[in-house]
A and B are shown apart, each in its own frame.
Chain A
Amino acid sequence: MEKLIETRELYTDFYTFEGVVKALNGVSVVVNQGETYGLVGESGCGKSVTVRSMMRIVQSPGKIVDGKILLFFREADRSKGIDILKRSETYMISMRGDDISMIFQEASTSLNPVMSIGYQVGESFYFHRLAQMLELTVKELEEEIPRAKFFLVKGWKRIQRGLFRRELGRLTRYSAEIDRIDEQLYQLEDQEDPQSVRKKVLLNRHRDRLREKDGLVQFVRRVPFLRRYYRRLDRTVKNQVVDLLRSLGVSNPDRIVDGHPHELSGGMQQRIVIAIALACHPIMLIADEPTSNLDVTIQAQIIDLIKTLKETTIASVLFITHDLGLVAEICDRASVMYCGDVCETADVKTIFHDPLHPYTKGLLESVPKAEQVETLSTIPGVVPNLVDPPSGCRFHPRCPHTMDICLETKPPTIEYAPGHYVACYLYMDNER
């Protein structure tokens, strides 16, 4: 299996009034291409912080303080991967929504209540697929111009076509150059001498500047009547949006496209959010508890949708949840997290049938299951405060098998079996 995204020893801290919350304590996660990866854990364990760090959208006062996040999206990066912690924010902006997309828990707060749905879904197209949209518009205009009868109409369409062509030309010209700059940045990745660092900064700055719009186009966009020419592009985008919504099972997409989010139910809103995320066919979709607020039957619909999409549109999904049932349902591999540590990583069958880490075992036994049990066993104690976490292994106060060494240092992650990783001192001897 090819690696897709990897975090290595990621440390993220939150600088709050009460102290420094050490949210991530050296998290290492590897997601492979084509699989659905689950991040399981309770609230406060750091699963949301992990994926937000991966997309570099950690909310202030949080900061990523150490570690690497490597992406292996393109063929050229196969060997080393791009460390996105070293890239500029503009680079990340161009990646978000295009290569990696994320959907959140509350669909109603993920959508802007005053913007129309068509506009919100179309934003991805405007930002990431502008060249494609422009091409489509120009092609449509090319076909319409010979058929137009009135001189004024024909002239207007010609103006539109001209402006769009200009914008398109600039984009295509500069996209090649941006690719070249990216290549150079990739070569200079690990070099830290002052000359290289300076060169990297200059390259990043040049790259950001290239993404700005053309001067004439910007001017025309400000002129009161002429700027209506851009509406032609809006129409193209809207058609794309309608097609996208139809493919996601939204009924009456033409009516919904002009409507607003509050007119829809929770399940529909979550579909719109998924549409926004998938508009540009990302390589990976990150889903942060997307169904926790939905009813059971609607949840089934959305999970079904994600499963179908995985076969057709997106290759890999990173699914965060606290519901072990969902993990069993759609994930291929999963990591169990506790208090900023990754306790255990394995494929899903192994996690359920052959759990190693005491926390995983405790979690599995405390979940209500389909078979009848007399009492549920519980994990004693409470989740600790992350401002002052327990020393060594963060689970040791609640673990029934604590040893002396567990209080001293954090247990390293070892590979107990092929593909089965666990971070616990109980298994240090069985390492293969």
Chain B
Amino acid sequence: MSSDSKPTLQPASGDEDRVPESTAEKPQAGHPRWKDLGFSLKRLLKNPLTIIGLTIILFFVFLAIFAPILAPPPRPTDPFLMPHKGWKIAPSPPSKDAPLGTLPSQYDILYGVIWGARSAFKIGVLVVMANMVMGIILGSLAGYFGGLIDEIIMRITDIFYAIPLLVMGMAMVVALGRGLTSITIVLIILGWPTYTRVIRSEVLVIRDMDYIQAARASGSSHLRILLKHVLPNSIFSVIIVGSMRIGITVLIAAALSFLGLGSDAGYADWGQMVSTCRNWIVGPADNRLGYWYVVFIPGFVIALFVLGWNLLGDAIRDVFDPKMRRR
């Protein structure tokens, strides 16, 4: 085997050093951010549970948006006051007049369910948004700067965790009066620690990554690093937690209403509806389940709402969680 009969490899010239454009992936039309989003949405819709969750939520959105058409308010200035036909105390079963039955004092359940969707969204979205903003600010500051700032913020978080919901709720009601506003304020004040902790743990991981150090070496200020590097990479976990908590928030608000801290009787809010039925959960001796619709229907609607948001939150997590992305 003579050596000159075998072909030899040429040393690399300058051209061979270029990465050939064809080996890079084929460019598709559109800005890469939209492409990324499209990819995520497609994955989102492949999961059957997602479809169910999405349907449920869309159903409620539909109810909330088209409430004036589906259930015309008797008093246009204050649509949240439920109409009542008659003054009988005991609730009436479902009939032609009131398809889902009525509450004590003849408030129409169907009306309450439809307009209650609006209240639910209002409470849920408002509380979660406010909490997310508070949590993100505090959590990222605590995680990024560490040291004394971290300690202080974390101790404050611990304090707020320890405040019992019910006691705070009652205090709020005493101070501000009954109503959904008080409940919303209570939930905002007590709900932010969870988000703070979630973001802080994500930021702690990101803080030691090379690209943060690279940004510092590039001369970026801390604010710039937080906004452009830390938050975009850590925000998904908060979004996931937030989406799951919308349902839970509504549930807690309903619980507080049930205990009497919410609005007055006759206000279109699901928790409120269950609250007025406290005395009617079990019927008279010969007809124990006579008033089932009074508790079951609003309760079922609440459960459905929470289920929808949980499924949606699960699906969002499955798609956006970077660890599970490439399954």
Touch A–B, Cβ below 8 Å: yes
Chain B 15-48 interface mask (CB, 8 Å, partner A; 1/0): 0110110010000000000000000000000000
Q: Are B23 and A382 in contact (CB under 8 A)?
A: yes
Q: Mark A8-32, 1 if CB is under 8 A from B, else 0.
A: 0000000011100000000000000
What are the residues of chain B within 8 A of A356 when measuring CB–CB? 6
Chain A CB within 10 Å, residue with most, of B9, B12, B20: B9
- For A430, list chain B residues within 8 Å (CB): 1
Residues of A within 8 A of B9 (CB): 358, 361-362, 365, 377, 400
**B16 near A375: Cβ-Cβ < 8 Å:** no
A9, chain B: closest CB distance, angstroms: 28
**Among the listed B6, B12, B16, B19, which residue makes an inter-chain contact with A382, where contact means beta carbons less than 8 Å apart?**
B19
Q: How many CB-defined contacts (below 8 Å) exist between A and B?
A: 39
Contacts of B1 in A (CB 8 A): 354, 417, 430
Residues from chain B with a CB closer than 8 A to the CB of A400 are 7, 9-10
CA distance A203 to B298 in the complex (A): 61
B63 to chain A, nearest CB (A): 36
Contact of B10 among A17, A377, A381, A426 (CB under 8 A): A377
Q: Give every chain A residue within 8 A of B12 (Cβ-Cβ).
A: 375, 377-378, 380
**In the complex, A417→B6 CA distance in Å?**
15
Chain A: how many interface residues by the 8 Å CB criterion? 21
Q: Is B326 located at the chain interface by the 8 A CB criterion?
A: yes
B327 nearest in chain A by CB position:
A17
Min C-beta distance of B3 to chain A, whole Å: 9
Contacts of B219 in A (CB 8 A): none
B121 CB to closest chain A CB (Å) equals 35
- Given contacts A16-B326, A17-B327, A356-B6, 7 further A-B pairs with CB under 8 A are A358-B7, A361-B8, A365-B11, A380-B17, A384-B23, A417-B1, A426-B7
B residues in contact with A17, CB < 8 Å: 326-327
Q: Mind listing 25 A-B residue pairs with CB under 8 Å? A: A16-B327, A17-B327, A18-B326, A354-B1, A356-B6, A358-B7, A358-B9, A361-B8, A365-B9, A377-B9, A377-B11, A377-B12, A378-B16, A378-B17, A380-B12, A380-B16, A380-B17, A380-B20, A382-B19, A382-B23, A400-B9, A400-B10, A401-B7, A426-B7, A430-B1
Query: Which 3 pairs across A and B sit closest by C-beta, in order of nearness?
Result: A377-B11, A380-B16, A378-B12
Interface residues of A in 110-152 (CB under 8 A from B): none
**Cα separation A381 to B18 with both chains bound (whole Å):** 8
Q: A381, B326: Cβ atoms under 8 Å?
A: no
Distance (Å) between the CB of A259 and the closest chain B CB?
A: 28
Name the residue on A nearest B326 (C-beta): A17
Number of interface residues of B (CB under 8 A): 15
Nearest CB of chain B from residue A146's CB, rounded to whole Å: 62
In the bound complex, residues from chain A placing their C-beta under 8 Å from that of B19 are 382
Cα A365 to Cα B12 in complex, Å, equals 11
The distance in angstroms between the C-alpha atoms of A377 and B11, with both chains bound, is: 5
Which B residues are within 8 Å of any A CB, using their own CB? 1, 6-12, 16-17, 19-20, 23, 326-327
Contacts of A18 in B (CB 8 A): 326
A18–B7 Cα distance when bound, in Å, is 38
Min CB gap A148→B, angstroms: 57
Question: Closest A-chain residue to B20, C-beta based?
Answer: A381
Least Cβ–Cβ distance between A238 and chain B, in angstroms: 39
Q: For B25, give the chain A residue with the smallest CB separation.
A: A385
Q: How far is the CA of A429 from the CA of B80 in the complex (A)?
A: 91
- Chain B residues in 8 Å Cβ range of A16: 326-327
Q: Which residues of B contact A378 (CB under 8 A)?
A: 12, 16-17
Q: How far apart are the CA atoms of A416 and B10 in the complex, in Å?
A: 24
- Please indicate the chain A residues that have their CB under 8 angstroms from the CB of B10 in the complex: 377, 400
Contacting residues, chain A, for B23 (C-beta < 8 A): 381-382, 384
Complex contacts, A375 vs chain B, CB 8 Å = 11-12
B3 — nearest CB in chain A belongs to which residue? A354
Bound-state CA distance A400–B10 (Å) is 8
What residue of chain B has the Cβ atom nearest to residue A358's Cβ?
Answer: B9
In the bound assembly, the distance between CA atoms of A375 and B7 in angstroms comes to 20
A361 — which chain B residues lie within 8 A by C-beta?
8-9
Chain A residues, Cβ within 8 Å of B6: 356
Q: Flag A347-362 by CB within 8 Å of B: 1 or 0 each.
A: 0000000101010011
Query: In the complex, what's the smallest C-beta–C-beta distance from B56 to chain A, in angstroms?
Result: 27
Measured in the bound complex, the distance between the Cα atoms of B17 and A365 in whole Å is 15
- Chain B contacts of A417 at CB under 8 A? 1
Shortest Cβ gap from A357 to chain B (Å): 11
> Nearest Cβ distance between residue A340 and chain B, in whole angstroms?
18
B-facing residues in A166-223 (Cβ within 8 Å): none
A354 to B, closest residue via Cβ: B1
- Separation of A381 and B23 alpha carbons in the complex (Å): 8
**Minimum CB–CB distance for B315 against chain A, Å:** 16
Q: Which chain A positions have C-beta within 8 A of B16?
A: 378, 380
Across the interface, name the chain A residue whose C-beta is closest to B10: A400
Question: From residue A174, how far is it (CB to closest CB) to chain B in Å?
Answer: 42
Most buried by A among B10, B12, B20: B12
| Bound: A16/B19 CA distance, A | 27
Q: How long is the Cα–Cα vector from A384 to B24 in the complex, in angstroms?
A: 10
Cα–Cα, bound, A426→B8 (Å): 12
Assembled-state Cα–Cα distance A382/B1 (Å): 31
- Rounded to whole Å, the gap between the CB of A99 and the closest CB of chain B is 34
Q: Which residue of A lies closest to B24 (CB)?
A: A382
Report the Cα distance A16→B16, complex, angstroms. Answer: 33
Q: Which residue of A lies closest to B11 (CB)?
A: A377
Closest to A430 in B: B1
Chain A, 383-432, CB within 8 A of any chain B CB: 384, 400-401, 417, 426, 430
Q: Which residue of B lies closest to A417 (CB)?
A: B1
List which A308-366 residues lie within 8 A (CB) of chain B.
Answer: 354, 356, 358, 361-362, 365
Docked complex Cα distance between A358 and B7 (Å): 9
